[in-house]
Structure 1
Amino acid sequence: MRTKDASSLAHPPDTDSGFAGTLKNIQLNDLIQMCCLSASSICMRVTKDNRIGTIFILDGEIVHAACEDIVGEEAFYRILGWQTGSFESLEVGTIPQRTIQKNYHFLVMEAARRVDEKTQFKSDQSLSVPYPSEDTAGNWIRVLIVDDSPVMRKILSSMLTAGNRVKVVGMAGNGKEAISMIDDLRPDLVTLDVNMPVMDGISTIKHIMIKKPCPVVIMSNPGYGSSKTIFNFFELGAVDFINKPTKDQDIFFQQQKIFERIRVAATAEVGNFRIARIPKAKTGNPDGKSVDRACRRLVIVISGPGGHPEQVSLLSGLVPALGDEDGAVVALQSLPPSFSDAFARYLFDRCGIQASPIDQEMSLSAGQCYVGIHGCPLAVRMNDQRPVIAPDAPEKGLVQVDRLLVTAASVFEQRLAVILLSGANTGEQSGLRVVHENGGRIILRMRASGMVAEPLDQVVEAGLADEEVNPADLIKTVLNGFDLKH
């Protein structure tokens, strides 16, 4: 296949207008996924014999396709059904009306499925059975461990297989080995180290998400300076992060924690992964000065496995919108405590919002974001007529997230909203019940479009969800639920 930029036709040869060249032995679906993963905007014109098809990608989303006499999804599938041909990459000029709504993971996988149905002989149909029946009957989670340390691979394998729910189907010493094994092993989940020889973690997850998307959990013990690297993995589709087991902590406790995180992460619908779309950051007040106003409304945003891109996208718009209405945000993440400062800096660098780790008592000010970590006790209270949040001693009978919700509800009452994103840990739900009792609201991100729905399902089953809304409507829903006149 050949590629060229249509803009090169309108510029002299010495103008910097991109590269022209030839790509051989590349599959069209791989190229499309690379464009989507990099959030590109491009129009592809694909030619096969005397047939021509076009595919429009806008900011990493496939929005339109046309082929002969059809448009939309069916046109996309027809084009990807051509196993050979040529393509040209053209600049996106006039954006056509959107005819495709589904995400690119689903579209590419469905196109591949249709091709397989056409080309596979009946004698090969037995190969399409994904796993042995004894695995599926017992609800086994098939795990591929990727780590350059043979000792760590052995430790993780022993810990994961100590019960009867996880089956380690393979172990790889680097990303290149892992990629070569995925096709044959077809794991339900991959545990991935960060730093490895030959092919590191970042390169590996890119290959996985493009070629064979499946839930990926990062397992590492990064130092303070490298912790922000983990956020790059989340942006590429990693579901969760878990610290590697260490000798100085209770092994049984670590085993239980790792297994539970693996179990939840394995339920992730990676086809629902979306690259965080962050608008251009606002520069703040025109005079450059920060106005310190006590917040009168509070929104607590709780995220868990699979929820990092959702949380970042939401906070970029929610924090400034609430600031205009004397509101503040507490963002709760399921990361190790050492990540709180790195996450606050990441939010500022990525979104341009003011974020502070809750490492001491802090006044809750309008237009500010405060970062907390699951497992670190926090409490909200009044101090000298101002609401404050601070690290707190655990209270008997309450887990940490319940403690935060109970104290926040007692201070803000009907001026409190709780947003639950993918994988949100809601403790024993006693905190959510107190939020309701005090007039606060509990808002869920639409489960069908998220990566990890199981924890949110439990909230719905308990009758504690006030609303379940599309991601694009979360901010409007929050603001409309507050009495902004008082």
Structure 2
Amino acid sequence: MPPIGNPKWTIPLDKHLALLTASGIRNGLKHGKMDSKDLSSSNHAQDTDSGFAGTLKNIQLNDLIQMCCLSASSLCMRVSKGQRQGTIFIVDGEIVHAACEDMAGEEAFYQILGWQTGSFESIEVSTTPQRTIDKSYHFLVMEAARRVDEQNLKMAQPSSTTSHTSTDVSDERLRVLIVDDSPMMRKILASILTTGDMINVVGMAGNGKEAISMIDQLSPDLVMLDVNMPVMDGTSTIKHIMIEKPCPVVIMSNPGDALSKKIFNFLELGAVDFIGKPKKSQDILLQQKKIIERIKLAATASVNNFSIVRIPKAKAFTPSEAACRRLVIVLSGPGGHPELLNLLCGLVPSMAELDGAVVALQGLPPSFQKPLAQYMNERCGYPALPIDHETILRAGQCYVGMHGGPLTVKMNGHNPIIGTQGPKDERESIDCFLESAALTFKKNLVVVLLSGANSGEQSGLRAVKDQEGRVILRKRSSSMVSSPLDPVAESGLVNAEVNPSDLIKTIVAGFKPNA
């Protein structure tokens, strides 16, 4: 399959933005053709409110779809090739439905994108059809390109009955590219990763420009990326990676308040995880173990499932001073940051209507707790507070914490309290936290697991189930990092595994109004 950045398939991000600004795609791309080699427009008289009508040439259909998705547009695109016709529905930048002849959903989408020439027009629709597509547009466009390539290859290759056996023995080690402007740090990281026989450092780059070239040559399984670098910094580099040749990216830096917001931005651009750089003052063997574990987990990420954070218009609500009566605990880890923000934007106000609160635990270092709460306040517009000492859980609030920190829930009179107490071991702490929450809220508790969520040894989830609470999984096939969710799904403790679009409805529907 050609890399997603090949001119045949896409347009670089800066050109995307320029095209979106220049063409006013949000306001109505009306008619076009896809069968010529230059760019021109018609001279038809235009009504001031009707948008643009014209001819786009030397542009692929998937280019247009990516522009619409990147600009968070909502439209229906009708595509014609001869007597054949298909439609693609895009809502807020997400492909939700496609229909072609007697097909609907993903297969219809692939059928339409398999047409190399044709014409298109955007049409207005009054209602959105039932959703038949849940995959991200990244995945859909790449899979469509792969299918076209596969078909072209079959047509180009002569039939042969001769079989060829390769004598090469493949290297099954994880292929990692290290990108850091410090030669010393590159050596340290390479030494840490290659101590065992599971990881092969296939290259090291001093800046983003070098990294982009090396990714094309080496096709690594994972890229470890620094934040601040000369020539091309980490932000520009990850944009290029995610558009041109998507692969799992782990950000490595020294955590601090000044960098926190930038790290969150990286996670929203598609980075799977963040890891702090190793420090001389800490146990190097323990650091090595944690880094290797996280790298191996991040490498399993399905980056095609990455979905850009879409912040909906916030519901107007006022947090209550009353103690919450219902609680939702959302656990997320590597790959789960965009999923967390997308969920909480609608979940927090929905729980406020039920006198409920939300506790969100993310798999980042403890120093990110306060910055993440502040970031959620600013980015999403709902009240978010870091968990600190003993805090009353109030209706309509979101409380932010990190995996691995000691947490517990208990009653203080008529008020449920969340506090920073309990064991410091990460796996044991999540079990103790869930057990205490289950005893406190019983059937009025829901635990939601997103990508990469650490659920400990499952004794906490078992306590939730025993107390008639609920455990809900985000559908694993839509998650970036699904492997930590597999043992939970197989445990029999899960009440439902649902699509991202159905999570809030499923959570809210299970709470009885008078419970």
- Contact 2:307 / 2:338 at 8 angstroms: preserved in 1? yes
3-state SS of paired residue (2:417) = strand
Separation (CA, whole Å) in 2 of partners of 1:219 and 1:398: 23
1:155 maps to which residue? Answer: 188
* Distance in 2 of aligned mates of 1:130 and 1:182: 25
User: CA, structure 1 residues 385+31, in 2 after alignment: closer, same or farther (shift >3 Å)?
Assistant: same
| Offset from partner CA, 1:291-331 (integer Å, 9 cap, x none) | 30011221111111111111112111221222222211111
Q: Which residue of 2 aligns with 1:228?
A: 261
CA RMSD across the alignment: 3.7
User: What's the secondary structure of 2:185's corresponding residue?
Assistant: helix
Structure 2's unaligned 5+ residue stretches are 1-7, 9-18, 31-43
Aligned mates of 1:372, 1:261 — CA distance in 2? 19
Q: Which residue of 1 aligns with 2:272?
A: 239
Which residue of structure 2 aligns with residue 472 of structure 1? 501
Partner of 1:353: 382
Contact 1:282–1:352, Cα closer than 8 Å, also in 2: no
Query: Closer, same or farther in 2 for the Cα pair 1:195/1:86, shift >3 Å?
Result: farther
User: Does 2:130 align with 1:94?
Assistant: no
Q: Deviations over 1:443-483 (max 9, x none)?
A: 11111211111111111223222222222222232233233
Distance in 2 (CA, whole Å) between partners of 1:481 and 1:421 is 18
Q: Is the 8 A contact 1:303 1:334 kept in 2?
A: yes
Structure 2 partner of 1:213: 246
Distance in 2 of aligned mates of 1:277 and 1:117: 33
Is it true that 1:181 corresponds to 2:214 in the alignment? yes
Q: What amino acid is the match of 1:443?
A: I
Aligned residues: 470
1:146 Cα deviation from its structure 2 partner? 1.5
Partner of residue 303, structure 2 = 270
Q: Distance in 1 between matches of 2:102 and 2:476?
A: 36
In 2, distance between residues paired with 1:231 and 1:131? 45
SS in 2 for 1:399: helix
Q: What is the letter of the counterpart of residue 183 of structure 1?
A: D
Which structure 2 residues correspond to residues 87-486 of structure 1 after superposition, within 5 A?
A: 93-94=124-125, 101=133, 102-120=135-153, 122=157, 133-136=169-172, 140-285=173-318, 290-394=319-423, 399-486=428-515
- CA deviation string 1:152-196 (max 9, x = no partner): 111111111111111112222222222222232122111111112
Three-state SS of the structure 1 residue aligned to 2:266 is helix
The one of 39, 42, 47 equivalent to 2:72 is 39
TM-score by length of 2: 0.80
Q: 1:71/1:219 Cα in 2 relative to 1: closer, same or farther (>3 Å)? A: same
Partner SS state of residue 134, structure 1: coil
Q: Deviations over 1:74-103 (max 9, x none)?
A: 6755665577x7999x77633785797243
Quote the Cα distance in structure 1 between the aligned partners of 2:491 and 2:136: 31
Call closer, same or farther: CA 1:100–1:318 in 2, change over 3 Å. closer
Which sits farther off after the overlay, 229-238 or 114-123?
114-123
- CA distance in 2 between counterparts of 1:246 and 1:131 reads 43
Distance in 2 of aligned mates of 1:43 and 1:68: 16
Fraction of identical pairs, as percent? 61
SS at match of 2:309: coil
Corresponding residue SS for 1:228:
helix
Tell me, in whole angstroms, the C-alpha distance in 1 between the residues paired with 2:82 and 2:503: 47
- Give yes or no for contact 2:404–2:424 (8 Å, CA) kept in 1: no
- Structure 1 segments unaligned to the other structure (5+ residues): none
CA distance in 2, matches of 1:146, 1:119: 36
Distance 1:346 1:271, change over 3 A: same
- Decide whether the 8 Å contact of 2:175 with 2:199 is kept in 1: yes
Determine the C-alpha separation between the residues in 2 that align with 1:420 and 1:296: 21
Change (3 A) 1:196 1:47: farther
CA distance in 2, matches of 1:395, 1:221: 22
* Secondary structure of the corresponding residue to residue 481 of structure 2: coil
The CA deviation at 1:384 is 3.3
In structure 2, C-alpha distance between the alignment counterparts of 1:98 and 1:484, rounded to whole Å = 28
